[in-house]
Chains A and B, each alone.
Chain A
Amino acid sequence: MTVEHPALALRGLAKRFDGTIAVAGVDLDVPAGSFYGLLGPNGAGKTTTLSMAVGLLRPDAGAAWVLGHDVWQDPITAKRLLGVMPDGVRLFDRLTGAELLAYNGLLRGMDPAVVDQRAAELLDVLALGDAGRTLVVDYSAGMKKKIGLACALLHGPRVLVLDEPFEAVDPVSAALIRDILTRYAAGGGTVVFSSHVMEVVERLCSHVAILAGGTIKRVGTIDEVRGDRSLEQVFVEVVGGRTATGEELSWLSQ
């Protein structure tokens, strides 16, 4: 029914902070059912772009659509279809994991019985059940990512937007998150996530976009973008990184 609409469409999104341009006109089409990786070095504007795409940050220019619904003109419908895990944003961390899930579920207008059942399942699958009555503020970084993911998944969104889901996560938790995301995508959902971990992107994604300096530098299916080279080589070339010559930082050797 929404086949004609991309899961997420961005047109000319731009944002300027105090005179510096964070994002300078991003166009992006995320096909429904794809596993989309947004790559970029630190400060490329990934978080700003995703925040504007999900309704957390008002863009200076441009528009965003979720399955054809304008995020800024018709936020209620668009937000209902979205599951979001922002980065660098606190959760309501004076709640326990179960309380936080219940809060988010009811906030989304879900039936309490369904919330109970899904929360229990999510806590179990994400191995957060043992935390019991521990407040989220006392969780480890990996546990916080996992409970954040659970909050984003709880209401069964059609599109999942995750900002740095693998940042500061140990390999065990990362594997778990990867597994859940793969299952979600296989079930017809669309995942968009930002990252700068090449291995994860190469392994998971059907599509990638490379963002640097606030604009999209490369976009397409993963095979189109990397061609016959590795994704890392393409990335470093696009972003314009430098390689150490061995001359500088000589004082580091004792």
Chain B
Amino acid sequence: MALPVSTGANPAAPVRPVSARHFVRLKLRVMGNNFRGQGWRIALFIGGALLGLWFAASGFFLFAAPGLADDGRYAVLVAAAGGGLLVLGWLLLPLVFFGVDETLDPARFALLPLPRRTLVTGLFVAALVSVPVLAVLIATLGLVLTAWSLGGWSAGLVAVVGVLAGLLLCVAASRAVTSAFATMLRSRRVRDLAAVLLAVTAALIGPLQVFGLAALRQADWNRLAGAATVIGWTPFGAPWTAGIDVAQGRVWAAPVKLLITVMALGALLAWWSRSLESAMVGATSGGKAPARRGATGGAVAQLFPRVAGWAGRDRFGALVAREARYWWRDARRRANLITIAVVGIFVPVFINVTGGDFAAMESGGLTAAAGDSSPVVVTISMVLVGVLAAATLANQFGFDGSAYAANVVAGVPGRVELRARMTAFSLYVLPMLAFVAVVLSVLLGRPGWIGLTFGGLVATYGAGLAVNSLVSVLGAYSLPETSNPFAMNSGAGLTKGLLTLLTMIASAVAAVPMVVAAALLGDAWLWLALPVGAAYGLGAALLGAYLAGDVLDRRQPELLATVTPRR
């Protein structure tokens, strides 16, 4: 799709058209140059690719199952539900967990005389060149197999077209949504609104899971098939079910569904192209900062926010105050805080409430659902939340980027640095965890369990802080200096994923004593959990800061070098 480029001033000069091919080659070149001389990056990339292939293979067999079993009954169900989940995943996961690969930052193209259409097409095609896209392609080829074995080559062919269109839809959706949110988060005027929207979007994941599980639990396959048919007529399911429709004799449905897909794709691309413009003109758009209140008091008094007002006016206090300000003022950090808040509430509710009798929930309200939730299950769900919350700090120095140089120049001792960072983060997270504990206990109808839930949370969170402070010193990586809080460097998404996984496993292991205690000690634990958990968490965090601080003292300059974005 080559479009001629107009030169304006000198139309006589021959101009070679810029096509998507150039963008793809540029992306591959940038990726290749990022690997140069960095053995561990190549290793990580290969590791990620293998992981992707493994998921792709399991997905393939899942999608191909109806075809392999030669059983057409559940073909639409698998295609619509599985495909719908894929689209939804592409839509939400970049916002909440992974970020988007911004190897080609749109802002870099702002000065080139490219028509917006060329730019959007190019960036879009370049975005298709990635491991996740390949993995999804392999997985969804299972649908082609199903369609082909059920309906012969014509159905298979339609399925191929459908799958390809669906893949385009996935990528377009993720780009459009992240770009739109990034634009909103960048603009100061609507930033807070965007934060709320993001939270609501992320919160959707919870109820959807609950809904899905409820549906599975009821095992009314006919009703599910009915729902799948409906989903099949939305953009979420349309591309994936077109081939199956042909196989099952509804040939007329295929072109309609493909048309639905193409229209959705067009709408998403148009949306993306609009927000892309603001991404290109950069961070200055979106109006002036809201007028801040006039300076009151001296410089030191201004530095300390109210939440950190108790801290001493010394080195530790200054670090806490600056971190506390940053968790709120830095869009990237704030997005992380919101994620913890949302996930922190929904994961335990999901595990504990849906673990109960779902029919009871439908008829008798949430409180009746606590039937078979035990202290062990509750503690395990608390471990999950605590681990997730602490994992945010796995790349805490990456948030700072080269600004960390100020601390290196000042020669801040590593232990003070890490303790202060933990404290500032906890100023936000501990109240959140307390809220989770209270809400969960009330939802379960067992207010007496507040100690149990909060104790488990604090213990895991403390252990997680310890593990993550060590990881943040040893496994830091740079984040791109763009205004898109969801942007990741190419390859960094994988580093992030692996590191997060690693730290979460390590923190969970560190919290095992809490689960064991919950299992062994019975009712006495309900009372002991809070003091023991608090002591355990605090001790673990302090020990972590002590050990990791020593490492930090020895490798401050190296850490600075790894978190400084390469320009």
Contact = CB atoms under 8 A, between A and B. Distances in A.
A120 B36 contact: no
Contacts of B57: none
B294 A95 contact: no
Interface stretch (B42-50, B230-238, B320-328, B535-543): B320-328
Nearest to A112: B313
B405 interface: yes
Contact of A55 (B289, B329, B557, B561): B557
Given A19-B37, A133-B294, A107 B406 contact: yes
A90 interface: yes
B87 to A, nearest CB: 35
B16 interface: no
A99 B411 contact: no
Which interface residue of A55, A91, A102 has the most chain B CB atoms within 10 A? A102
Contacts of B300: 102, 105-106, 112, 115-116, 119
A138 interface: yes
A18 B37 contact: yes
B411 A80 contact: yes
Interface string A126-150: 0000001111001000000000000
Given A106-B313, A106-B315, A56 B409 contact: yes
Contact of A107 (B36, B37, B319): B319
B439 interface: no
Nearest to B304: A102
B411 A92 contact: no
Nearest to A151: B406
A76 interface: yes
A54 interface: yes
> B interface, by DSSP: helix, strand, loop or mixed?
helix
B561 A57 contact: yes
B318 A55 contact: no
A102 B303 contact: yes
B298 A103 contact: no
A183 interface: no
A106 B304 CA distance: 11
Contacts, number: 130
A56 B36 contact: no
Contact of B411 (A19, A76, A86): A76
Given A55-B408, A94-B326, A102 B403 contact: no
Given A18-B37, A79-B409, A84-B409, A90 B403 contact: yes
Nearest to A119: B299
A75 interface: yes
A84 B409 CA distance: 7
B412 A107 contact: yes
Interface in A178-203: none
Interface in A87-118: 88-96, 98-99, 101-109, 112, 115-117
A235 B194 CA distance: 54
A9 interface: no
A94 B325 contact: yes
Across the A-B interface, give the 9 residue pairs with the lowest CB-CB distance, nearest first: A116-B298, A133-B292, A106-B318, A119-B299, A102-B303, A102-B299, A79-B411, A98-B299, A112-B313
Interface of A: 18-19, 54-58, 75-76, 79-80, 82, 84, 86, 88-96, 98-99, 101-109, 112, 115-117, 119-120, 123, 132-135, 138, 151
Interface of B: 36-37, 289, 292-295, 298-303, 313-315, 317-319, 321-322, 325-326, 329-330, 400-403, 405-412, 481, 557-558, 560-561, 564, 567
